[in-house]
Each structure stands twice: as structure tokens, then as C-alpha cells.
Structure 1
Amino acid sequence: MASPGLRLFDFARDPAPRTPEGLSSPPPVRETGRMRLFAAVLPPEAAVAELAARVKALRALPGADGLRWTERQGWHFTLAFFGEVAEDILPELHTRLARAAHRHHPHELRLAGGGRFDDRVVWVGVDGDSEALRRLADSAEARGRRAGVPMDRHRPYHPHLTIARARSPRHGSPRHGSATSLAPYVDGLTDFAGREWTVGELSLVRSHPPAPGVPGQQPRYEVVAAWPLGH
């Protein structure tokens, strides 16, 4: 039985969550006893639509084809990355994440501005109560550790939503740097400020890696559980 406040999603039956990559019927995934999981906050569709309009303009800039653009159906703020989690840890992880959600209150954010990580990633940032988001991220990470999830060392949380990545260098090309400058895309986000929305939920998301050997395919994201904040 699900814990109080827990909502389980089945993408085949529940139309509420955004289906990953727009797939109406996700292909079957081979079960291995482990799941690639992370805690996340998902912006509402209205906020996603505003960002999608700006990203559409960015993708019209010269050189945009030199980047790998993430799909809007998968846009999210990662709070804590748990990696490959054994199934026997899941009940404890669910319990502890439910407690984390209960102890944090809903707060207001908006998608705003942007930046980059070196020459690798273009991201969109947030305005509003970002400190509350950082506290939620720290709590999700701590709960994962206490549940027995082996995690990397703690790093200060930097809220960001990835919209594009530099393509990997082709064989025979330089290993470092990107052929496409990210500066124009970051500049194109400088004045972006979306509508205010309420962070009211902590989600546990499963990542299904792309099939090997399929060019351009991106990971699929599946919300497996979500807990309302403050309940």
C-alpha cells in the first residue's frame, strides 16, 4: 500500500503526467532489479510552454543544429541524483522522501535567465524562492543517503534546467571544446522571465536510457511517485 501523500503514476493509464518525449505508448523496458532514479521538481505546463517559445527562437539561430536540444516533455529540475537504485532500497527511499516533502512548504518560482556550464551545457535558471528549492534539494539528497543509496560526495546545489548540450566531437576531431559557441544562446535567455508558479510537489523520476545505436534518441523520463509539499 502506498504511503500517505504518495501518488503513483502509470503512464499507460494516467494522462496527468507529461509523457516522456511525447511517446503515447513507451516501449517495454527490460527489468534488471535496479532503476536509474533522481528526485526532481517539474515545472507546470504553462511555464514549459513559455520556455518552449523562447527555445524555439534560440533554435532558429545560426549554428543551433550543432547542439543537442532537450525535449520539452523531459524538462525538469534535478534535486538529487540517486543513480542505479536496487529495488530492495525503494520502500525506504519512498518513506524518507515522503517525510522530506512533508517538512517543506510550497514556494513560488519562475523560470528566468540562463547560463552555461563551460562549453558543454546551456541551462535556464530560476527567480523567486530559490533558497527553498535548495533546501528541498539538500533534504532529498540527505534522505537518499539515509535510505542506503550510494551517492557521490555532496556538492552545493545550483538550480538549473538543461535545454541544450554540445554534441560530442566526432572521430578525429579535437576532444575538448565545442564547435558551436554557446554564448549566443545564453545571451538569448538574458531577458527571459516566465510566469510565477508554485512548487508544490517532490517527484521521484526514473530515467530510461536511449537505445544503443539509435542516433539522436534521448532518455525517457517516467515519474514513478510524487509527494505534495507540506502534507
Structure 2
Amino acid sequence: MGTNSDMRAFLAVDVDKTLLNKIGDIQNNLGAAEAPVKFVEPQNLHLTLKFFGDINEEKLNEISNIISQKVENFNPFDLLIEGVGVFPSLRYIRVIWLGTKNIDSFSDIQKELDDEFIKLGFDKERSYIPHLTIGRLKGSTNKEVLVEKIEELSDVQIGKMAVNKLILKKSELTPAGPIYTDLMVFEL
């Protein structure tokens, strides 16, 4: 098996297109702080259910079989997107994200799938909280202004989105940023 056949893969939920303008407004608002934030492109916005890292074709098939079986247990549901937050803390910001509410179904799917993925040799997810990464901080210039804006937006309402499919994606890292390709779609 050549390493060239490996691919970086993850399981995700795409963000509803109806929310992209609002999310763009938030990114612009944060961008006005002129801190060195690299914002996620609209077409790349997603909620990650599981990051698999580099896997081969065989592993991919095992993963997709599990997802195919498990999605039959779940129905589509709505997720609320609201509130801006950061990882790991406001003192040391690396990732800026939007929060989620009404996450019971999302968490149930994530946990049920994760239990199966562990059997394939993947690490268990620790304290999983569904979130939507919208930017990454690359330095500390104007950080105080950025923190102020984040705090102002801590309760911002983005809206409701329907979750009706899970998507297995491939990630190719390029100097211009990651390129995501849908490998398989699983309808709930």
C-alpha cells in the first residue's frame, strides 16, 4: 500500500447556505478588529463530527459501512447556531467558533458513531462539543479589540439549520488553505 493512496478524511455536517450571509457578517465584524485572523471560507464552513486523519481506502470503506448502518437510527433534526466563542481561552485564542444549541440529536449521533470508530482503532473523542470554526488567530496584533468584539457577540443569534445528512470529506492542505471534497453523503 503506497502512502499516496492515503487521504485526510473527516465526517462533517455542512452549514446551511441560508446562514452563510449572517456568518459572513460576523466574520466581517470580527475582521474589523484588524487582528491576524484567518477566516474560514463560506464553502468550507462545517461542523466536524469526527476527524479521522490519514486513512487508506480499506479504512474508508469500514468507516462508510458503519455510518451507513448507524444513520438509519436517526432522523433529520434542527440545530441552532448562536454565540461566538474561542478555544482554548480568551487569554490565548487559537480558534474562533460559533456555538450550537439543541444538540441532543447531534451528540447522540456523534457518540454512537464514535463508539464504533473506536473499535476500528480511532481515538475516543474527549468532551465533544459541536461547534462551527469560523476563524483561526495567527498572532496577537490588536488582540484586545478582537476580544472585545468576541465578548459583544457572545450571545449573537445566527439561526436554525436542518441537519439531514452527514458528509464524509477529504481534506487536501494547500498553501492557499484546505480544499475539501465530498467523498460520500449519508442521508438521515
| TM above 0.5 | yes
Q: Deviations over 1:71-117 (max 9, x none)?
A: 11111001111111111122221111111211112111121002111
Matches within 5 A, 1:119-158: 119-127=93-101, 129-146=102-119, 148=120, 150-158=121-129
Partners in 1 of 2:76 and 2:147 — Cα distance?
34
Partners in 1 of 2:124 and 2:184 — Cα distance?
25
Corresponding residue number in structure 1 for 2:83: 113
Out of 158, 162, 169, the residue aligned to residue 205 of structure 1 is 169
CA contact (8 A) 2:12 2:50 kept: yes
Return the TM-score normalized by structure 2. 0.87
Root-mean-square deviation (CA), in Å?
1.8
CA contact (8 A) 1:100 1:143 kept: no
Counterpart residue type for residue 108 of structure 1: D
Higher helix share: 2
Out of 78, 82, 94, the residue aligned to residue 48 of structure 2 is 78
Runs (5+) with no aligned partner, structure 1: 1-30, 169-177
User: Cα distance, 1:120 vs. partner?
Assistant: 1.0
Count residues with an aligned counterpart. 180
User: Cα distance, 1:139 vs. partner?
Assistant: 2.2
Q: Percent identity?
A: 27
CA contact (8 A) 1:83 1:151 kept: no
Partners in 1 of 2:133 and 2:21 — Cα distance?
15
Runs (5+) with no aligned partner, structure 2: none
CA contact (8 A) 2:114 2:124 kept: no
Higher strand share: 2
Larger Rg: 1
Structure 1 segments, 4+ long, off by >6 Å, are: none
Out of 30, 55, 59, the residue aligned to residue 31 of structure 2 is 59
SS state at 1:209 partner: strand
